[in-house]
C-alpha cells in the first residue's frame, strides 16, 4: 500500500498482498485496508467479494485448484472433481474437516495442452486422471 502511495486505486493490490500474507481476507485485515486507504468498509468488502480470486474463508494447509476451462472440461475435469469428492469427501470451495486440503476450481490456467490439469500448492500438474490426482494429493498431504 505504501508503494502505491496509499491511493484508493491501490485497493486491489492491497487485497492481493493481504491474502498472500495471511492466506485469506479476514475482518481485521479488511478494516485495516479500509482505514489506510480512507475507503468505506462496504466498498472494500464489496470489492473483495466481487473478485473470485479473493477468499474470506480460511484455506487448508494444501490447496488443489482444478482447472475448469473448456479444454479441461471437455477432457474430464468433472471426473477429477468427483474422484476427489469420493476420496476426500470435499467438493469445490470446501476444506477437509482436518484442515489439510482445500479444493477449488479455476476458470482456465491457459495451459490447455496439459488438459485436464490442476495446480497443487502452486505447482502445475501434468495431464491427470482421477486416480493420478488422488495419488498426488495423498503424496502431498503425507509430506510433513
**Contacting positions for another protein (CB under 8 A):** 7-13, 15-16, 43, 46-47, 50-54, 68-71, 73-75, 106-115, 122-126
> Which DSSP state fits 24?
S
Other beta carbons less than 10 A from residue 131's beta carbon: 10
In whole angstroms, the minimum distance from the beta carbon of 141 to another protein comes to 19
> Is the Cβ–Cβ distance between 128 and 80 less than 8 Å?
yes
> Is the Cβ–Cβ distance between 118 and 133 less than 8 Å?
yes
In whole angstroms, the minimum distance from the beta carbon of 97 to another protein comes to 26
CB closer to another protein out of 28 and 110: 110
CB closer to another protein out of 14 and 101: 14
In whole angstroms, the minimum distance from the beta carbon of 60 to another protein comes to 19
CB closer to another protein out of 8 and 27: 8
**Cβ neighbours of residue 121 under 8 Å, at least 6 residues apart?**
62, 63, 64, 140
Strand 118-120 to strand 62-67: parallel, antiparallel, or no bridges (unpaired)? antiparallel
In whole angstroms, the minimum distance from the beta carbon of 110 to another protein comes to 3
Amino acid at each position: 500500500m505504501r508503494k502505491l502511495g496509499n491511493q484508493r486505486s491501490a485497493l486491489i493490490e492491497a487485497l492481493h498482498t493481504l491474502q498472500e500474507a495471511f492466506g485469506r481476507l479476514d475482518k481485521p485485515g479488511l478494516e485495516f485496508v479500509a482505514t489506510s486507504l480512507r475507503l468505506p468498509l462496504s466498498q472494500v468488502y464489496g470489492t473483495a467479494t466481487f473478485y473470485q480470486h479473493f477468499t474470506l474463508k480460511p484455506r487448508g494447509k494444501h490447496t488443489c485448484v482444478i482447472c475448469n476451462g473448456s479444454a479441461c472440461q471437455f477432457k474430464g475435469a468433472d471426473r477429477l472433481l468427483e474422484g476427489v469428492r469420493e476420496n476426500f469427501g470435499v467438493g469445490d470451495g470446501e476444506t477437509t474437516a482436518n484442515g489439510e486440503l482445500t479444493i477449488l476450481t479455476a476458470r482456465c490456467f491457459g495451459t490447455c495442452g496439459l488438459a485436464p490439469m490442476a495446480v497443487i500448492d502452486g505447482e502445475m500438474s501434468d495431464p491427470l486422471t482421477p486416480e493420478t490426482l488422488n495419488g498426488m494429493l495423498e503424496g502431498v498431504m503425507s509430506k510433513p
